[in-house]
Structure formats: C-alpha cells, structure tokens
Amino acid sequence: MKCLVTGGAGFIGSNLVEKLIRLGHQVVVLDNLSTGRLSNLNKVKSKIEFVEVDITNRKKSIDDYFNDIDWVFHLAGLADIVPSIKNPDSYFQVNVKGTLNILEASKKAKIKKLIYAASASCYGIPDDYPTDEKSKIDPQYPYALTKLLGEQLVLHWAKVYHMPNVSLRFFNAYGPNSRTTGAYGAVFGVFLAQKLAKKPLTIVGDGKQTRDFIHIFDLVDIVVRVAENGELGEIYNVGSGQETSISTVADIIGGNKVKIPKRPGEPDRSLADISKIKSHFNWQPKIAIDEGIKMLLKNINDWREAPVWTPETIKEETKSWFKLLSKK
C-alpha cells in the first residue's frame, strides 16, 4: 500500500513509519517539524518521501500529496496540556482545522482507509474502570477538547461522505523517539531527564495515581492491523489493559524522589477497556511495563538534551493550570 503519515517525524508517527517500511509499504510523510524531528526518521530516510508542510495552511494546498494514496494515518497534532490552556487557539487550528483539511484532501483523493489518532483524554475523569468506548465523554482542558472535536469530524465525514475512517483513542504511549524538548509533559521524558541530571524524580501527589501505559511497538502494531481490517466509523481504545502507578514507574527507573502538588483535572486512575479491539483484531499487547522501561533505560542518553524539570520550574509552568482548572 501507499501510505501517508501526517506528523510522521513525531514520536508515534516515526515509529509507525518504520513499521510500515518494514512491512514493505510505500510511505509519504507530512510534518512541519514544529515538534517532530527529522532525526527520528534516520533509519528510513532513504526509503520515504518527506514533505515539510503545515496542514493548517490553506494557501499551500496539501491535496497533491494525497494522489494515489491508499491509507492515511493522521497523527499530526498538538499534544500538551499546559500550552493548550495558555494558547487554545493554536490547538484549535492544528487539531480541528488541520484535521478538516486532511479529511477534505482524503475525500478528494478517494483514499481506502483513514486512521485518526484520537486521545483517551476525552474521557476526562472517568466514572468507570476499565473505561470502554461508550463511557462518558468529559474533556477537562483544551487539548482534550480539540482532539475530541477532531474525532467528531472524522466520524461525521465517515457518516455523511461514507469515508473509510476509524478513530483510535490512544492511552499513554511510551518508547523510543518520544519528544525530548518543549513543554512540561509526559512522565517518562520528565523522569529520564531528571535521572540523567541526577535530580530527584518529581512525583505528582502521592504517586499512587495510575496510568495505562502502552509501549509504542505494541501501539503501532495494532494501528497497522486496524488499517488492514478496521470497519468504517468505528472507535477503538488503544492501551495495554493494565494500570501502573507513577510510583512504580519511578521505582523501576530508579533514583531519589520529591513530591509536588496534585493537579486539578487529572484522573487518579487510567485503565483502558481494550476488549473490543482485542476481539475484533485478535490482538494482544506484548511488552510489559518493566520490560519497556528497561528498554528505555538502555537508550537513556537520548534524553540528554531534554529539559530538566524541578519542583520550582514545574510550579511556574503549571500556574495557569492550577488557576483555571481548580474548583472555586
């Protein structure tokens, strides 16, 4: 198949591109390199077509890049909580209007399958665990809202225009090529940079809160399977189906710890009900959390250029988070 991957120089995108190339597919990557890195594609750069382009820019049409494309994987997007609170307009432009542009280009090209990278953040603070695809939707911050709006566009275009679209709600992915620069965000990047700098790992609250972490190799495996056999207009959770506490992650990584205040709008638990995707695709995640973290530690120097967050800098960075999301 000839595949187009938006955001293909990013964390999930670059791992997916490598997977597609290994399977013998042709790949075109669209990325504006605002958060992605060309170095993430070093292993496959001679085997892909890379286009530096902004999917929100209507003045430069992206339609031509979709000619003869079979599968579209729409992974481009902005993905941090704090910046979305500070600057929601940019998140709307990329995650909503950018998605509309991808849908229109895909519709025009009559592609065979479109996979949308949605987010489990749409569930907010769930009432039910494990959380299935029919659970209450309650986004807590602009990032979560804009990813949900993007998903609604994808599903609406499937319904109205009979496009072969599928939405995958990703839980907490981790693994190689994850971002090492920019805003305060994913726990693994924060912890690994702190460990390298011999600084204490910053534990939010009591550290008992859990997340459903899925290794990126498991994630891209199921993404390809869905492209091969996914049904039009479906939504699937993508997680490990296991929950791991932040303290456990810190213990496996190793090092001193320091506690920082718990943030509003964050769930105490995250656990995906993945029974639907497992049964539909005969799929099972393979990489356990301890194995996945050990793999990361072998390549910890990848985070040498990452910002080293301290309790003081985190407090400053998350001021707007506490101010706007705390209950009055």
Catalytic residues: 143
Dist. CA 90–CA 84, nearest whole Å: 8
Torsion angle, alpha carbons of 23, 24, 25, 27, to 10: 100
CB 82 within 8 A of CB 317: yes
Q: List, in sequence order, every residue forming a beta bridge with 102; answer none if it has no partner.
A: none
Instruction: Tell me the torsion sign for CA atoms 205, 209, 212, 215.
Output: positive
Residues 28/72, Cβ–Cβ less than 8 Å: no
Q: What are phi and psi of 306, to 5 degrees?
A: -75, 150
Which helix (H) or strand (E) segment is 218 a member of? helix 216-229
Q: By three-state DSSP, how is residue 259 classified?
A: strand
**Under 8 Å CB-to-CB from 140, ≥6 apart: which residues?**
121, 124, 125, 265, 266, 325
Distance CA 263, CA 121 (A): 15
What whole-number distance in Å separates Cα of residue 174 and Cα of residue 103? 27
Tokens encoding 235: 């939504």
Q: Which helix H or strand E contains 216, and what residues bound it?
A: helix 216-229
Please report, as a single letter, which amino acid is at residue 140.
Answer: Q
| DSSP string for 24-62 | T-EEEEEE--SS--GGGGTTTGGGSEEEE--TT-TTS--
